Amino acid sequence: MLEKSQEEKILDAAYNVIAREGYAQTSLRQIADEAQVALSQISYHYQNKEGLLLAVVRRVARRYSEFVEELQPEMSPWEKGERFLKLYQEVLTREPELFLVLYDLVGLALRSASLREQVREILQVIIDQFATEVFTEEVLEELGPGYSPEVLSGLFLGGIFGIAVQILLEPRETASVSLDALNLIFQLRKR
């Protein structure tokens, strides 16, 4: 196995420290210590803390892309919706740090124009994908008229993000069951 480059070590450390401490509480010194590199190497590879944060944003986006690759083209829109929810639950359980970092990034994006655009693009990719692959005409016919695929995708995204916050704040069975309840949308065709 190849040894990680300094740049990868720094990015891994930044991701881990931000997940553990939150961006506001994270210092470049903490990241350098965790990565076991000189502080100057962070500036060399990422310019500053914001540059490093943008690299973390790109990592989160890549992780999401890997996650969605499990939705196979031959699946029906119904199956894709159900599979996505199952994957979401699995990742939330296995990798809660991904969501901790994502929520921290969203909070920071509310106050930073450059970060806002990056985070908005990640969320828009998710909405666009759901609009084209899940909330298709076939699904809309079952759900009834009135809302566009984009509106339903945004609503769905807001629902799963909100439920994930509930689970992270207070991991209870009832919060996890809320994700199962969203699955009712994709089970309408079975009635």
* Calpha distance 37→160 (Å, rounded): 37
Domain check: are 67 and 26 in the same one?
no
Mean pLDDT for the stretch of residues 124-139: 88
Higher-pLDDT residue of 182 and 117 is 117
Q: What is the CATH number of the domain that holds 177?
A: 1.10.357
| Residues above pLDDT 90, as percent of the chain | 29
In a domain, 52, yes or no: no
Q: What is the pTM of this model?
A: 0.81
Mean pLDDT for the stretch of residues 69-96: 85
Distance set, CA 132 to CA 40, 43, 81, 118, 149 (Å): 45, 40, 12, 21, 7
Domain check: are 74 and 134 in the same one?
yes
Domain check: are 12 and 82 in the same one?
no
Span 29-56, pLDDT tens digits? 999 999 999 999 999 999 988 889 889 9
Mean pLDDT for the stretch of residues 124-150: 86
The average confidence (pLDDT) of the chain is: 86
* Calpha distance 171→17 (Å, rounded): 22
In a domain, 68, yes or no: yes
DSSP assigned state of 23: G
Position 114 confidence tier, pLDDT thresholds 50, 70, 90: confident
Residue reference for tokens 């470049």: 28
Domain check: are 24 and 75 in the same one?
no
Domain check: are 69 and 108 in the same one?
yes
Query: What is the domain range of residue 30?
Result: 1-47
Q: What is the CATH number of the domain that holds 25?
A: 1.10.10.60
In a domain, 139, yes or no: yes
In a domain, 183, yes or no: yes
Question: ∠ CA(173), CA(176), CA(181), 5° rounding?
Answer: 115
Domain check: are 8 and 85 in the same one?
no
Pick from 27, 47, 67: which residue ends a domain?
47
